[in-house]
Amino acid sequence: MAEKASVGDNITFHGGIEGTVRTVNENSVIVEITKNNTEEVFGGGVTVINHKNYKIIKK
């Protein structure tokens, strides 16, 4: 299993979206979007990402 992110970590997911972890849950993190190079739109600038679906880029 990959390392789980912590609050404040920067992560990348969905092929070009980056964000900062705001909350860590048992199976997921809540992320504030900081960079979005895709056509995906996130209401409120936040989303939930499963631990299996992101990579930590900066702790």
Give pTM, 2 decimals: 0.90
Question: In 3D, which of 52, 48, 50 has the Cα closest to residue 2?
Answer: 52
Question: In 3D, which of 50, 49, 21, 24 has the Cα closest to residue 34?
Answer: 21
pLDDT tens digits along 1-46: 578 999 999 999 998 899 999 999 999 999 999 999 888 888 899 9
Q: For residue 5, what pLDDT is reported?
A: 98
Q: For residue 7, what pLDDT is reported?
A: 98
Q: For residue 43, what pLDDT is reported?
A: 86
Q: For residue 42, what pLDDT is reported?
A: 86
Q: For residue 26, what pLDDT is reported?
A: 96
Cα-Cα-Cα-Cα torsion 15, 47, 33, 25, nearest 10 degrees, comes to -100
Phi and psi torsions of 45, nearest 5°? 75, 15
